Each structure stands twice: as structure tokens, then as C-alpha cells.
Amino acid sequence: MKIAAARESSPLESRVALTPDSVKKFVALGIQVSIESGAGLGSGIADDAYTAAGATVAASAAEAFANADIVVCVDTPAEDVLAHIPQGSILIGMLNPLDKLTDFSALNARSIHAYAMEFLPRISRAQSMDVLSSQSNLAGYRAVIEAVAATSKTIPMMMTAAGTIPPAKVLVLGVGVAGLQAIATAKRLGAVVSAFDVRAATKEQAESLGAKFIEVPAADNAETSGGYAKEMDDDYKRRQEEALAAVIKTQDIVITTALIPGKPAPELITKAMVASMKAGSVIVDLAAAAGGNCKLTKRDDAIQTENGVVLLGYTNLSSRAASDASPLYARNLFTFISTLMFDKTTKTLKILSDDELIKGTLVTKGGKTVHPALVA
Ligand SMILES: NC(=O)c1ccc[n+]([C@@H]2O[C@H](COP(=O)([O-])OP(=O)(O)OC[C@H]3O[C@@H](n4cnc5c(N)ncnc54)[C@H](O)[C@@H]3O)[C@@H](O)[C@H]2O)c1
């Protein structure tokens, strides 16, 4: 069995799907590994490290992919790279299946069996393969770091002979995996942190990290059985807007992470709220890829509003922490492949097709898009 990876196609992507650590583990199982030269550089991994781990370093994507059973990636490869993936082989990565711009026709034209790791069911057994958690956690951390770099406000309180500097105020909207890490990071830096989420269970989690929770009671349970947020009704949205408007104008940094699976991101920060904020305050919108939690967010851009608010719409925050994001991601993929796609006795490819983790992630097969969430 052979696994391969190429350099990522997007210039905004610094992560890599194989690391020397994951290569060693694959090689120990008797799996051959090939990687395109330079693929690890964005994550601080030189070709030599891959060679030392037992991989073959190839001069091109085409050479790396030759005879591969499985190609692993971070984001879907560009078409000129996809063209080298062997017909009928397997592609595993973050394929962005719910984005309306995602088009699987190039994968289907090559009959590629593609697995979108974002669809992995979030059951206990799958935790060590959960790429959304491993990457969102780092995105939450990085969002705070980007905000701190963009503000001239000092974060911790400082008492000096020349006077006292008050601590920065940080508001986190959406208390999932990314939001919890954003709260923890901002607290560690000494900020006064507030947080808001529609799911009642998040109050205790936010408070346990030292954040003040902004409560907007919901008439019904705002959480699905899968632990995700539901879309809220207009009455709730009005009350939420009032509560946030009162708090937001006093904040130095706002980190927004609110998402509803398969839907556009809820709009939590209106133009009027941005207009009420102080000059120099910073909003980092982690939901930018899903349309943004702030009305004014520009995807993958940093803008300054007329009243001097800096708005960061980076969609590659985990990639900005690539040296740590890649090892976690590569470990998630190793666990997925070694437990669900490999027969340790015969040392050959064997897919556990009936396993709910395989069924849950398979998006294309035999030239067709097959995932129930993607076929009408
Ligand atoms: N393996 C596992 O069991 C596992 C792993 C990770 C996460 N989870 C659970 O999955 C759930 C979702 O976590 P996630 O980080 O992937 O969520 P997510 O990325 O889908 O959303 C981020 C947060 O935004 C919140 N949100 C949505 N609409 C909002 C609104 N209008 N206003 C404010 N906040 C809003 C959500 O409630 C969520 O907390 C959580 O319950 C988490 O504990 C389970």
C-alpha cells in the first residue's frame, strides 16, 4: 500500500497532511510513503526530515502520486494537481463539502473515492481523528494572537510609577472548540473576557475558564442532538442584538466563531455595532469562510472601517499556526487510515465500508457524489 501527498495548492495554506512523525508510523506498518519536495516547508519541515522518517521525496506531485492507493491533502488540490491522482484511488482531506462553491466534478471525472474529514461523526471513538477540533482549537488561539498583533492596546493590567494601564476587554462570540481556546488564550494574556453562545451548556464552560457569560435566554433548547447550534428565531435574534450592542461598544477585541453546520454563519455584529466601537479596536471573524459573523467582514482580508475598527477576515488561522497544526492534522489522518483502511495482517488496503466513520465521510465514489448531505 502506498500513501502520497503533494505541496498544497493554495498560497494561503502552509499546513501539510504528512509529517515525519506520521510517516514513521505508516512506514512501521509496512506502508510506503511518498511526498513532493518542499511540501513541509510551510510547517517548518525540510525534505531531509521526511527522508530520515522513511518517506521517498519526489520531485513533483505526479511523481509522488504514481501508483498511490491513498492521496492525503489539507485542502482539495487544484485541478492540475488532481489530474495526477491515479484513477479510482482514494483522496482524504478537508474537502469543504458544505461550501456552495465546492465542486466535486473533477474528482468524479477520475472516479476518485474522496473522504471529507469535516463530515467525521463526532462520536467518542472518533475524537482522535477529529480534524475540526484539532484545527479549530489552534484557530481560536491564533485569532487572539492576530488580534493582539493588530491592536496597540496592552492586554494585561500593568501598574507602573507613571500610572495604571487597565486590562484589555475581549469578547468571544460562539463558545465551541475555537471559542473556548480563544477565551483561554485571552485570559492567559491577562484580558477581561466576556463570552456569548446560544447553547445554554456553554455558560458553565465559559465561566470555568474565567469569562463572564452574556445570557440571552432561549424559549427552546438551542442545541441539536449532535451538540451543534440551531438557527434562532427572529425574537431571539432581536434580544441577542440588544444584549451584544450594549457590550460590544466597550470592547478592545472581539473574536467571533459562531457557525451553524450547513448554513451561512449567523450575523451577530451589525454595521451599527461596528460604528459604536472605539477606534483601534479589533474584530477577528473566524466565520469568514461561511459568510462571516460581522456584516462588514471581507474574506481573507484585513480592513479598517471609517471609525478606525480593524476587521480581520482570515480563513487560514489554523494554517497560520502550521508548525503545530500539521502534526495534529497528520496524526488525525494516520489514526483514520490505520484503523479504517488498512489490514494489518496482509498489509494491504482494506476499507471498513460499513463503519459509520467511513460512511459518514465518503463524499464521492465510482464517479458519483454519494454523501446523503450532498445529494438531493
Ligand atoms: N468528538 C466530540 O465529541 C466533539 C468534538 C468537538 C466538539 N464537540 C461538540 O460539538 C459542538 C460544536 O462545537 P464546534 O466548535 O464544532 O461548533 P461550531 O464550529 O459548529 O460552532 C461554534 C460555536 O458557535 C455557536 N453558535 C452558533 N450560532 C450562534 C449564534 N447565533 N450566536 C452565538 N453562538 C452561536 C455554536 O453553539 C458553537 O458553540 C459542541 O457541543 C462541542 O462540545 C464534540
232: containing domain: 151-317
Task: Check whether residue 186 and residue 311 sit in a common domain.
Answer: yes
Q: Which of 122, 125, 238, 299 is catalytic?
A: 122
315-340 pLDDT per residue, tens: 999 999 999 999 999 999 999 999 99
Classify residue 234: in a domain, yes or no. yes
Q: What residue's CA is closest to ligand 1, atom 19?
A: 259
CA distance 19 to 38: 12
Task: Check whether residue 271 and residue 214 sit in a common domain.
Answer: yes
Domain boundary among 301, 317, 333: 317
Task: Check whether residue 169 and residue 50 sit in a common domain.
Answer: no
Active-site residue, 122 included: yes
Residue with cell 510547517: 43
Classify residue 293: in a domain, yes or no. yes
Q: What is the CATH number of the domain that holds 160?
A: 3.40.50.720
Task: Check whether residue 113 and residue 172 sit in a common domain.
Answer: no
Classify residue 370: in a domain, yes or no. no
Active-site residue, 142 included: no
- Residue 305 gets which letter from DSSP? -
Task: Check whether residue 298 and residue 187 sit in a common domain.
Answer: yes
| pLDDT attached to residue 160 | 97
Q: What residue's CA is closest to ligand 1, atom 31?
A: 266
The list of the chain residues with pLDDT below 70 reads none
Task: Check whether residue 47 and residue 125 sit in a common domain.
Answer: yes
Classify residue 87: in a domain, yes or no. yes
**Angle subtended by helix axes 177-188 and 131-150, to nearest 10:** 40
CA distances to 31, 173, 184, 225, 253 from 287, rounded to whole Å, are 38, 10, 19, 22, 16
Ligand 1 atom at minimal distance to the Cα of residue 223: 37
CA distance 104 to 110: 10
| pLDDT attached to residue 231 | 87
183-212 pLDDT per residue, tens: 999 999 999 999 999 999 999 999 999 999
Query: Number of folded domains in the chain?
Result: 2
Task: Check whether residue 170 and residue 96 sit in a common domain.
Answer: no
Task: Check whether residue 109 and residue 216 sit in a common domain.
Answer: no
Active-site residue, 228 included: yes
Ligand 1 atom at minimal distance to the Cα of residue 201: 41
End-to-end CA distance of the chain: 35
| ∠ Cα 248 172 229 (to 5°) | 110
Ligand 1 atom at minimal distance to the Cα of residue 178: 15
Q: Provide residues with CB under 6 Å of ligand 1.
A: 122, 127, 130, 132-133, 136, 173-179, 196-199, 202, 227-229, 232, 257-261, 266, 268
Classify residue 135: in a domain, yes or no. no
**Contact of 292 with 209, CB cutoff 8 Å:** no
Task: Check whether residue 61 and residue 208 sit in a common domain.
Answer: no
154-163 pLDDT per residue, tens: 999 999 999 9
Quick one: which of 194, 298, 213, 293 has its CA closest to 253?
Answer: 194
Q: Is the pTM of this model over 0.85?
A: yes
Task: Check whether residue 247 and residue 118 sit in a common domain.
Answer: no
How many whole angstroms from 178 Cα to the centroid of ligand 1?
Answer: 9
Task: Check whether residue 104 and residue 18 sit in a common domain.
Answer: yes
Task: Check whether residue 285 and residue 349 sit in a common domain.
Answer: no
Classify residue 184: in a domain, yes or no. yes
CA distance 329 to 317: 14
Which are the contacts of 35, defined by CB distance < 8 A and separation ≥ 6? 4, 5, 6, 16, 18, 23, 50, 55, 56, 57, 58, 64
Classify residue 140: in a domain, yes or no. no
